[in-house]
């Protein structure tokens, strides 16, 4: 934004800063008087998984899938997001479930070796 104030073009700013479309967006924000919002902007995709979801995952993973009507005695990376989607109406991928479990120190391999919860 400071470079735009000095009269630099978008191309010059992008080369100087090493970015692409980001400069165009913030130059527009500066021009319409909304540059103060730069600290309010979050970076990356918005989070889909809430603390409620993570807490419920911790509870569900410690219980038997049979308690929820599944035929198998152990959770899989497919059944966990399916069950939680029914309860909380939040859809996430099998891979995201694995990442969440890993961040909690829980391994799907360890879960698959357990015969009961």
Q: Does residue 32 lie in a domain region?
A: yes
> Could you tell me if 35 and 65 lie in one domain?
no
- Check if the beta carbon of residue 117 is closer than 8 Å to that of residue 64: yes
Same domain, 57 and 34: no
pLDDT score, position 111: 64
Tell me, yes or no, whether 16 lies in a domain. yes
Q: Do 66 and 107 fall within a single domain?
A: yes
User: How far, rounded to the nearest angstrom, does the alpha carbon of residue 57 sit from its chain's CA centroid?
Assistant: 15
Are residues 34 and 74 located together in one domain of the fold?
A: no
* One domain for residues 103 and 65: yes
Number of domains in the chain: 2
Provide the residue range defining the domain that includes 67. Answer: 51-113
Whether residues 101 and 57 fall in one domain: yes
Is residue 36 over pLDDT 70? Answer: no
- With a cut of 60, say whether residue 86 has pLDDT above it: yes
- Asked whether residue 19 is domain-assigned, the answer is yes
Note whether 20 and 73 are same-domain residues. no
**44 falls within a domain:** no
Dihedral angle over CA of 65, 70, 76, 80, nearest 10: -70
CA–CA dist 59, 53 (Å, integer):
10
pLDDT > 70: percent of the chain: 77
Per-residue confidence (pLDDT) for residue 116, from 0 to 100: 42
Q: Same structural domain for residues 61 and 103? A: yes
Note the pLDDT tens digit of each residue in 2-29. Answer: 777 788 877 787 778 777 666 677 777 7
- Does residue 49 or residue 116 have the better pLDDT? 49
C-alpha to C-alpha distance for 77 and 26, rounded to whole angstroms? 41
């Amino acid at each position: 934004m400071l470079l735009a104030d000095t009269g630099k073009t978008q191309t010059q700013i992008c080369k100087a800063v090493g970015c692409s479309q980001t400069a165009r967006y913030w130059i527009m924000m500066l021009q319409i008087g909304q540059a103060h919002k730069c600290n309010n902007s979050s970076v990356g995709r918005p989070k889909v998984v809430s603390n409620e979801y993570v807490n419920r995952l911790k509870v569900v993973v410690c219980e038997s899938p049979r308690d929820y009507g599944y035929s198998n005695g152990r959770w899989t990376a497919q059944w966990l997001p399916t069950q939680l989607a029914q309860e909380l109406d939040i859809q996430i991928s099998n891979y995201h479930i694995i990442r969440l479990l890993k961040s909690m120190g829980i391994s799907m391999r360890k879960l698959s070796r357990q015969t009961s919860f």
